[in-house]
Amino acid sequence: MTIGGAPSYYALRTSGETDTIAGAEVLQRLQIGLSRVAIGLDEQNPDLAEFRDAYVHLKEKSGVYSEKTDVRFLAPQIFRTGAFLPANTPVGRYVVLAYLCSGGNLVAHAQDYFVVTKSGLEGDIANFARERSLAYGILCAALALLVGWAGGVIFRRD
């Protein structure tokens, strides 16, 4: 089975319980909540419901899916929250969506983004592998041969 369209990272932060913030139709349309986020499966197929739940549970366990009620309003139009990015968060561009709901309806929304990249030695190696794949492959093969030969010399039984 192939899952296409599932977010690689999903963090929901709310100021109250999800079901009390907006109506069910608004929550479903905006895919607010782990139970409503589309992961690329036939959502109407009851046979896939258990599979979908298990997939979401595994993502929650690995830290890349989460839901918390920790938004604090500092002023009427200013709020604060935080989201933990685990080390296994995939590299890429992430969209941040902010929704303001009142009386069960969507009143306003905003969108921004941030980029997760590799840095330091890990980033340098990843860039080298991507930009000079042939040289990277040759270096990896040569390193494997060298380590194998060195291991044979060190652990030789004579």
125 and 112 assigned to the same domain:
no
Residue 68 and residue 13 in contact, taking contact as beta carbons nearer than 8 Å: yes
Residue 67 and residue 34 in contact, taking contact as beta carbons nearer than 8 Å: yes
Say if 3 falls within a structural domain: no
Mean pLDDT of the 112-118 span: 91
Please, which pLDDT band fits residue 38 given cuts at 50, 70 and 90? confident
Say if 95 falls within a structural domain: yes
Distance CA(97)–CA(131), nearest Å, equals 33
Please, which pLDDT band fits residue 42 given cuts at 50, 70 and 90? low
62 and 43 assigned to the same domain:
yes
Tens-digit pLDDT profile for residues 8-27: 899 999 998 888 888 889 99
HSE-up (13 A, CA, CB side) for residue 40? 9
Say if 40 falls within a structural domain: yes
73 and 149 assigned to the same domain:
no
Tens-digit pLDDT profile for residues 49-100: 788 888 899 999 999 999 999 999 899 888 899 888 888 888 889 999 999 8
Q: What is the span of the domain harbouring residue 137?
A: 120-154
